[in-house]
């Protein structure tokens, strides 16, 4: 299949030809086709959420296991009623506070949503994105767009159109290039079918912000701890994900111990013939010796780190790096979202280098 590429400006105002192109993209989705498009979190791969055949095509294009449900994207609050069984007061409060924006809510699904879209579940994930291109496209598509991240399953989510082209060219009908996304990590997912509500995936809307609106909120422990022994409640969180092709390990501990440990390990890897890479921050960038040293930004700027993380993970693939070591993150407000994605990319390989050294890989 030939994939058409169109470029759209990022402003609230759309030029006439851009509007026309988005209208055509909407027609493709209405007709059962697939279109990748920018959102404020990452690029999405969109199909008609109310058409089971479209959802099947999404799974096929991504190579995604079909028990991993899709998020349904809407552009107007009043459209939510058609796809959920009921709208609890908590959902209204969250929508008022965080929509349009990077928050996904899990609610009981209505009959209109096919099981192909929900991976066989009786619940549905709903989000109203804020990106102007996404909102226009959803409206032109009939109002309900199932859109997982537009990467091949298992690879880091795309934050620029070039990543979508890399993974999806020839597999989908159209790619809408709207430039670099703003946030760079997928939406926060909160399950409103349980009491208290539970965060199934951390993101830009933090537990603290949600507590500010709902009072009590819990986080699914299985997504942050390596040793909880439980399966995560968002089916997608159990898969290794966001992963570069090289083997990634996260190294935690005091700054000096971390740099010393990584430099020693890199020497050993070189002796064994491996190409090595490091994910570091501006503050520590100069301290490493490896084949490829990538800075994700300053520790003072977590938003910058979130925006760069997937880009950097993909760059290691281009440079064909075999062994990658990353510093740990986790102090600030976005820390748990960043660390959650990094842990999944690393297949939960963590090295702790507090004195005395607890574990070696």
Q: What is the DSSP string of 43-86?
A: -EEEEETT-HHHHHHHHHHHT--TTSPPEEE-SSGGGGGGTBS-
266 membership: H or E segment, kind and range: helix 255-271
From the list ligand AMP, Mg ion, none, partner contacted by residue 345 (C-beta under 5 to 8 A by kind): none
CB 353, CB 251: distance < 8 Å: yes
Binding status of residue 234 toward ligand AMP by CB under 6 A: yes
124 binds, among Mg ion, ligand AMP, none (CB under 5 to 8 A by kind): ligand AMP
Ranges within 57-76 binding ligand AMP (CB under 6 A): 68-71
How would you class 348 by CB atoms within 10 Å of its CB: exposed for 0-12, middle for 13-18, buried for 19 or more?
middle
Interface with ligand AMP, residue 200, by CB under 6 A: yes
Q: Which two tokens stand for residue 14?
A: 């759309």
State yes or no: residue 206 binds ligand AMP (CB under 6 A).
no
Show contacts with ligand AMP in window 130-169 (CB under 6 A): 148-149
Half-sphere exposure of 306 (CA within 13 A, CB side): 27
Question: Which of the residues 129 through 168 are near Mg ion (CB under 5 A)?
Answer: 149
Q: In terms of CB distance, is 11 or 347 closer to ligand AMP? A: 347
Query: Does residue 206 contact residue 340 with C-beta atoms inside 8 Å?
Result: no
Q: Which is nearer to Mg ion, 51 or 149 (CB)?
A: 149
7, 43, 161, 177, 284 from 4: Cα distances, Å: 10, 16, 12, 11, 42
Q: Phi first, then psi: what are they for 54, rounded to 5°?
A: -65, -40
- Give how far the C-alpha of residue 74 lies from the chain's centroid of Cα atoms, to the nearest Å: 18
The interface region with ligand AMP, picked from 6-14, 228-236, 262-270, 319-327 by CB under 6 A, is 228-236
Report the residue number, 68 or 206, with the smaller CB distance to ligand AMP. Answer: 68
Binding partner of 214, given Mg ion, ligand AMP, none, CB within 5-8 angstroms per partner class = none
Among residues 239 and 288, whose Cβ is nearest to Mg ion? 239
128 binds ligand AMP (CB under 6 A): no
- The residues of the shown chain that bind ligand AMP, judged by CB under 6 A, are 68-71, 106, 118, 121, 123-125, 148-149, 186, 189, 200, 234-237
**Residues forming the site for Mg ion (CB under 5 A):** 149
């Amino acid at each position: 299949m030939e994939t058409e590429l169109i470029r759209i400006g990022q402003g609230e105002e759309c030029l006439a030809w851009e509007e026309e192109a988005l209208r055509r993209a909407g027609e493709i989705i209405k007709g059962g086709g697939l279109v990748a498009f920018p959102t404020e979190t990452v690029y999405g791969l969109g199909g008609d959420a109310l058409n089971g055949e479209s959802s099947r095509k999404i799974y096929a294009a991504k190579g995604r296991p079909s028990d991993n449900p899709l998020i349904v994207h809407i552009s107007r609050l009043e459209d939510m009623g058609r796809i959920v069984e009921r709208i609890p007061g908590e959902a209204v409060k969250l929508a008022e506070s965080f929509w349009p924006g990077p928050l996904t809510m899990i609610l009981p699904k209505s009959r209109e949503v096919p099981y192909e879209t929900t991976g066989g579940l009786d619940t549905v994930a709903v989000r109203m994105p804020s990106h102007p291109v996404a909102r226009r496209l959803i409206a032109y598509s009939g109002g309900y767009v199932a859109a997982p991240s537009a990467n091949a399953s298992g690879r880091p989510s795309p934050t620029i159109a070039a990543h979508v082209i890399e993974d999806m060219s020839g597999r989908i009908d159209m790619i809408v290039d709207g430039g670099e996304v703003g946030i760079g990590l997928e939406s926060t997912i909160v399950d409103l079918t349980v009491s208290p509500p539970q965060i199934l995936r951390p993101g830009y809307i933090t537990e603290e912000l949600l507590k500010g609106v709902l009072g009590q909120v819990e986080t699914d422990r299985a997504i942050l701890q390596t040793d909880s022994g439980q399966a995560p409640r968002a089916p997608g969180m159990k898969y290794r994900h966001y992963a570069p092709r090289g083997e990634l390990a996260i190294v935690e501990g005091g700054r000096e111990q971390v740099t010393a440990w990584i430099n020693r390990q890199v020497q050993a890897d070189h002796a064994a013939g491996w190409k090595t890479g490091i994910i570091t921050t501006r503050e520590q960038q100069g301290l490493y010796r490896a084949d490829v040293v990538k800075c994700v930004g300053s520790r003072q700027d977590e938003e910058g780190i979130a925006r760069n993380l997937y880009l950097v993970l993909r760059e290691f693939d281009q440079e064909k790096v075999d062994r990658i070591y990353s510093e740990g993150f986790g102090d600030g407000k976005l820390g748990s979202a960043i660390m959650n994605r990094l842990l999944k990319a690393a297949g939960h390989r963590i090295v702790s280098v507090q004195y005395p050294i607890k574990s070696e890989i």
